[in-house]
Structure 1
Amino acid sequence: MGRENSLDLHEARLSASFVMTEKLHKFHDECIMPHLQVGAPSGAPLMKNAIQLLTDDHKKIKSLLEELANTSTRAVKKRAQLLDEVATMLKIHTTIEEEIFYPAFKQAGNKDDAKTYFEAMEEHRAAGELVLPDLMGTKPDSEQFSGRAKVLKELVVHHADEEEEGMFKRAKSIFDKAALDALGERMQARKAQMLGE
């Protein structure tokens, strides 16, 4: 790698780190605040239930991954910024699923639901411990980055669609409204904690 490419890569990563705070604020405004609905009789905000919250996250993450996969090798800064945002959102999303939603689902469900739980955990591991770290270690100006971004997108989209069509539909039958609301509240609190609020 030439010195100029190395400097460009360093500059792109440095620029991306400076905008991380801005991205976290954007994530807060777009992913956290829409879940709060002011106007409850007591004046306290009502949070979306667990399934609504997770589905909204899926939409935002899919959109970012689509944008990332469609960038060109010349969009080094854009790729770095999008990748940082995707990594942050995936970390927060998978944490609230793994710490709160999945264990509750497994505990409330049957043997088939336990199987679904373990499959979902493995899909998180594949994306978060294998594909995402490889992508983050890949030069943003390379075709290899393009290929890895597409693989991450396909993996995450498949996982999210599978959750929405299987696990979330099943969760609606094993949890009542109060339980889904309570899970959503716990998950939202954990998100806020991770964002340092």
Structure 2
Amino acid sequence: MPGAQDAIALLTADHREVSDMFEQFENLSDRAKATKAKLTEKICNALIAHTTIEEEIFYPAVREAVKDEDMVDEAVVEHASAKDLIQQLQEMNPDDDLYDAKVKVLSEQIEHHVKEEEEEMFEKARKSGLDMIQLGQEMAQRKQEILATL
């Protein structure tokens, strides 16, 4: 399929997009409450879509192909921790105590998670012989479905 993106390219692009949004948040002034709220919503929605396609499609494929249960299990636990913070942020507004701190901690958790995925999991997944184009197509389609519901 022309223009098809492989799974790792798709996930890496998501990583960069979210990283950029966290950086934008970091550069906002304390008075930019409405902008913070909109940006946090975008970050949370992007992370929900991303973690869902990883957990539903990418991680099961990697788990089967790579045979590294611990690596995938750790990634799932990191997702659970991030989802907890996402849920808290979705119930808050930028005037609330700890709002900025929770965004910062989420950013740091995601940065750690991304580093491990890109330096360890993606390399092992590529070497495993998985069809990254097919996985990428499935993931891109599922991502669009999820984003349409958010």
Report how many residues are paired: 149
1:81-116 deviation per Cα after TM superposition (whole angstroms, max 9, x unaligned): 001101110111111100000000001122xx2111
* TM-score, L = length of structure 1: 0.71
Which residue of 78, 100, 107 maps to 1:146?
A: 100
Q: Aligned partner of 2:56: which letter?
A: E
Whose Rg is larger? 1
What is the distance in 1 between the residues matched to 2:53 and 2:89? 23
Secondary structure of the residue that 1:47 maps to in structure 2?
coil
1:121 maps to 76
What is the distance in 1 between the residues matched to 2:89 and 2:50? 19
**Identical aligned residues as a percent:** 38
Q: Is the 8 A contact 1:73 1:142 kept in 2?
A: no
Map 1:1-197 → 2, pairs under 5 A: 45-110=2-67, 113-128=68-83, 130-142=84-96, 144-176=98-130, 179-196=131-148
Runs of 4+ in 1 over 3 A off after TM superposition: none
State the Cα distance separating 1:143 from its structure 2 match: 5.5
Q: Is the 8 A contact 1:73 1:146 kept in 2?
A: no
Greater RCO structure (CA 8 Å; 6+ sep): 2
Unaligned 5+ segments in structure 2 are: none
Q: Is the 8 A contact 2:45 2:147 kept in 1?
A: no
What is the distance in 1 between the residues matched to 2:143 and 2:117? 20
Distance 1:194 1:134, change over 3 A: closer
* TM-score, L = length of structure 2: 0.91
Aligned Cα root-mean-square deviation (Å)? 1.7
What is the distance in 2 between the residues matched to 1:46 and 1:138? 39
